[in-house]
Amino acid sequence: MSVTEHTSVAQPAGNPGPATAKILSFPLNTWYVAAWDHEVTNKAPLSRRVCDKPLALWRTTDGRVVVLADACWHRLAPLSRGAVVGDEIQCPYHGMRYDAAGRCTHMPAQRTINPSAAVPSYPAVERYRFIWVWLGDPDLADPDTIPDMHQMTSPEWAGDGETIHADCNYQLVVDNLMDLTHEEFVHSSSIGQEELSEAGFDTTHTDTTVTVTRHMSDIDPPPFWLKNMNDKFPGFSGKVDRWQIIHFQAPSTVCIDVGVAKAGTGAAEGDRSEGVNGYVMNTMTPETDRTSHYFWAFVRNYRLESQTITTQLRNGVHGVFGEDEVMLKAQQEAIDANPEHEFYSLNIDMGGMWARRIIERMLAAEGRG
């Protein structure tokens, strides 16, 4: 069931419930991205901390991804500092080896292997150019519940991305992406403009998703979008219609449908042929309660053949997100310095408030509310 709330700057927003905490814990019965697919090889293990759990990732000889706890059963030496030997990982301290299920297959100086010698193994799925890992109840690990990011591998879209190590709680990044009016102030030289704060928006939600939709008509394109219009329509100048449709998928994936089109050509009604359309793909993985792995990409559905445009867009978005990175770090530091301060909410926070409420329900279902 989907619920819709129509919100404008002149109307009070609906309330998704009581005020939520600033720093949220992370659900475990869900999928998180641990790495880009190209980061995990059969040459050497990769170390990555997810939800405060150190992990070791590698590939078997047939290319399958394995994720184990990054601590040897014997003396807790980090397995990620060891070596990949065939389909197994070898501890760097005393040479104990573990298979993909985490069972010890070799111990030094003895033929009998202690039957308790094992380390936790976690479900992992390779999809949408990412390695997804499930750290909760393995019986609940359904790959069909991985957030939809099909644009990352669709032949109808082209693009690239990077990883940001964000010095903040993952939920602060979700808040940032669910309310894009901050672009007017944080990104004034690239994608920001005052019409963002003036435009109304609609918010819809289900039990696991939130969508925030904003359209702006007959406006000047900001520098980022003017360049993209000229990539597709050389010599373009004039007014545009702009859209931002933010799709949150619990607990921490946000895919944003963005673009501009020549003013009055029907973009708001679905005809985007006279414009440029991109998707900002974001998925945030808690590292600790105050740091995050922020995986992002920008993909487009025009001029797919141009690697130059792909690189320019990736570099341009890198600069934009660098401004967010500075702000989010400063925000986390202010939260830590003012532990008694409560957040206050405006109309523009509606999408983020619903996202927080969904995460709170996930935590409560795990008995961790």
> What is the reported pLDDT for 181?
73
Residue 189: which pLDDT band, with cuts at 50, 70 and 90? low
Q: Mean pLDDT, to the nearest integer, of 233-242?
A: 96
The pLDDT of residue 197 is above 70 = no
> What is the reported pLDDT for 341?
86
- Between CA 303 and CA 158 the distance in angstroms is 9
The pLDDT of residue 18 is above 70 = no
The pLDDT of residue 263 is above 70 = yes
pLDDT tens-digit profile of 330-348? 999 999 999 888 888 878 8
Q: Mean pLDDT, to the nearest integer, of 290-309?
A: 96
The pLDDT of residue 280 is above 80 = yes
Residue 324: which pLDDT band, with cuts at 50, 70 and 90? confident
Convert 58-84 to b/e letters by CB count within 10 Å (16 or more is b).
Answer: bbeeeeebbbbbbbbbbeebbbbebbb
Integer angstrom CA distances of residue 167 from 68, 135, 181, 250: 25, 22, 22, 21
Across all residues in the chain, what is the average pLDDT?
Answer: 90
Tokens of 144: 């069909």
The pLDDT of residue 243 is above 60 = yes
- Between CA 354 and CA 336 the distance in angstroms is 24
Cross-strand bridge partners of residue 280: 256, 298
Residue 183: which pLDDT band, with cuts at 50, 70 and 90? low
> What is the reported pLDDT for 322?
85
Please check whether residue 317 is in contact with residue 172, taking contact to mean a CB–CB distance below 8 angstroms.
no
The pLDDT of residue 75 is above 90 = yes
pLDDT tens-digit profile of 117-148? 999 999 999 999 999 999 999 999 999 999 99
Name all domains of the chain by residue range, CATH numbers in brackets: 3-25+147-365 (3.90.380.10), 38-135 (2.102.10.10)
The pLDDT of residue 10 is above 50 = no
The pLDDT of residue 12 is above 50 = no
